[in-house]
Amino acid sequence: MVTKQATQDEDGTELIARNKRARHDYEVLDTWEAGIVLTGTEVKALRDGRANLTDAFGIVNAGEVYLLNLHIGAYGQGNVFNHEPTRTRKLLLHRREIRRLIGSVERQGLTLVPLDLYFRRGRVKTRLALVRGKQQHDKREDLKKRDAEREIARVLRSR
């Protein structure tokens, strides 16, 4: 979870939360940017940095894409108007993107996972990825490669 001092990119995107486990546990095949249908207290809670993407995943149902288990904490001043933290949220994608997702998820057995949650021009967006699960030995190989690259970079820096 990112604190209130969110990072701002050069294209005006402000990072809210990042799913670090997704890149470790899954092989990312394709990504899309999608909008999210939210209530007012959810947006205010996201501005405070109250989001957790760890267990979130997407499903395709009746020609629409939904995000499940995205945890957005309660807004402090929301009182009786506060939202349910892990409710199902609808994602906004173009029809042709949804058709492509339907084919990949249903026929190939792939999964939809959110990688990032961020503000772009005042709107909340998510980077949704089509992923395939990694085996344990693939994860170990990735860790070995990363360690080797870090070691090479350290040696080159010291020269």
Domain CATH number, residue 54: 2.40.280.10
pLDDT tens digits, 79-96: 888 889 999 999 999 999
Amino acid at 138: D
Give residue 36's domain range: 13-134
Establish if 109 belongs to a structural domain.
Answer: yes
pLDDT tens digits, 51-75: 999 899 999 998 899 999 999 999 9
pLDDT tens digits, 118-155: 999 989 999 999 998 888 888 888 889 989 999 999 99
Establish if 95 belongs to a structural domain.
Answer: yes
pTM, two decimal places: 0.78
Establish if 26 belongs to a structural domain.
Answer: yes
Establish if 146 belongs to a structural domain.
Answer: no
Domain count, the chain: 1
Higher-pLDDT residue of 31 and 7 is 31
Phi, psi of 108 (to 5 degrees): -90, -10
* Token pair in block for residue 11: 């294209």
State the pLDDT at residue 123: 93
